[in-house]
Amino acid sequence: MSDSSSTIIETLSAHAWRQLGEAGFPSLHLDDIAEQAGIDPVTAQLVATDVASLILHALCHHDLEALQTSQADFADDPEASIYEKLLEGLIMRFETLQESKPQIRNLHQAATRNPLLALQLSHQLGETVGKYLSLAGDDSTGPLKQARILGVIGVLLRVRSTWLDDDSADMGLTIKALDEELKKACEWAVTFRILSPSDMTQQATND
């Protein structure tokens, strides 16, 4: 993709994300987004697959921001355990999306009625969670890594409603729920031998 095309995608995705916060996903149209962004609709059609691709691009941008912040935080605290780093990373993801609650609410409402969108969101979340696990020091691979990713995704989905309703400045309710759900997930993972009892409490060795 050329630099000009990348710039157009960035502009379109930013406007699409903004519109998602004001209206439901089904009401978004590429031509309208292009018009508001000051981009020729034909050009928009050429560089953007569809509205969903723009929304996913914007969400990926937020995830990358959270991952980069977490990477720096982890480097500053090398003694932290894998569990502590993973918890801190997931908290950072919620913090990064704090100003985008309307978008997340509208997006997930749409996903309940749009299987393709739900699949795309699930895939992107899985990619992000895998990166968090790796950053935290989890070096598992293959089916074991996929099982751990699915477990963390389950935690995020269970905490999402608490986060959306949490109006506290410090996200206290969200952090409490996240810690509780992650501990439960770890306990279940040990039961099913996805984790050993020491896996999440050990210090990462790849910092």
- List, in sequence order, every beta strand (DSSP E) within the chain: none
Give 95's Cβ-side CA count (13 Å radius): 16
Using only C-alpha atoms, the chain has a radius of gyration, in whole angstroms, of: 18
**How does pLDDT run across 5-35, given as a tens digit for each residue?**
999 999 999 999 999 999 999 999 999 999 9
Nearest to 188 by CA among 160, 164, 152, 163: 152
Element (H, E) at 35: helix 30-37
Q: What is the mean pLDDT of residues 43-54?
A: 95
SS3 call for 200: coil
Contact of 9 with 53, CB cutoff 8 Å: no
CB atoms within 10 A of CB 86: 27
CA separation for the pair 157, 87 (Å, rounded): 15
CA separation for the pair 32, 45 (Å, rounded): 11
CB atoms within 10 A of CB 143: 9
With a threshold of 0.75, does the pTM exceed it? Answer: yes
**How does pLDDT run across 80-107, given as a tens digit for each residue?**
999 999 999 999 999 999 999 999 999 9
Ordered structural domains, the chain, with CATH: 56-191 (1.10.357)
End-to-end CA distance of the chain: 33
> How would residue 196 be classed by pLDDT, with cut points 50, 70 and 90?
confident
Q: What is the mean pLDDT of the chain?
A: 94
